[in-house]
Amino acid sequence: MGTIRIETRGDDVFLITIDRADRRNAFDEPLLDEWVARLAEIAPRAPRAVVITGAGDAFSAGYDVRGIDPAQDPRLPLPDARFERAIRAVLDLPCPAVAAVNGDAFGGGLDLALACDLCLVAPDAKLAMTPCRLGLVYSADGVARLVSRLGAALARRMFLTALPIDAAEAARAGAVEIVEPKDALLPRALGIASRIASNAPLAVRGTRTTVEAVEGAIARSLSTETRALLRDLRILALQSDDLKEGLAAFAEKRPPRFRGE
């Protein structure tokens, strides 16, 4: 049995559940492969809306830190570049996606939730961008998405402090649309998806593409030289002793002792 469950809710709405609750729905390489393949299978079935949620008490902890290797060849895709496949699979869906954030969304998990067209969050969910706590530099495309949804000031604070915000603050910032009690979260998300599905498909598709094009302007404005510089900074962090310490501290559930090396 796979770790991505897809159910039909009516003729035009699909419910997608990340079902790896024992790892807080974190994405390792097998799950990334399954996620991309399963979402690609949806397109020929012509859904008009999908809802994405997580099993258990978390939405997603993002990229599984056990897949991060400080000794990796820098010519290979970096960890966040590997997770970008999950984000791209959502953006490439032929219909709007509604995130039902039933619990914590950290790192790439928050990126995934905010890559959806609409985001509903349970009141007790915590949202955090944690790369600096591990010793990583997040991708330029990911930072651009977070700046677009959170605003530059809040995105900067979340990245630099790695401290979580609650659903209420995210809603005040306009990053999420609705804060809904946990037992009502999924029905509300499915109801919104059904409403989207009832609208004119061509108009919905065209509007969604237009919004994505406007939101993507920050990332598209980066020059080739800037992207190369940003990749060099990510590689520097990936190969640092600080990353080894961050991963060790995470595994040992203790505060990291970074030295800037």
Helix or strand holding residue 53 (H, E): strand 49-54
Q: Supply the pLDDT for residue 218.
A: 66
Q: How confident is the model at residue 219 (pLDDT cuts 50, 70, 90)?
A: low
**pLDDT score of 24 more than 90:** yes
Q: Supply the pLDDT for residue 75.
A: 78
Q: Supply the pLDDT for residue 212.
A: 82
**pLDDT score of 261 more than 90:** no
Contacts of 18 (CB under 8 A, 6+ apart): 3, 4, 25, 27, 31, 35, 52, 53, 54, 55, 59, 60
**pLDDT score of 70 more than 90:** no
Q: Cβ atoms within 10 A of the Cβ of 14, count?
A: 22
Q: Supply the pLDDT for residue 10.
A: 79
Token pair listed for 5: 């469950």
| For residues 217-228, average pLDDT | 76
**pLDDT score of 162 more than 90:** yes
**pLDDT score of 252 more than 70:** yes
**pLDDT score of 259 more than 70:** yes
In this prediction the pTM is: 0.90
More confident residue, 91 or 222: 91
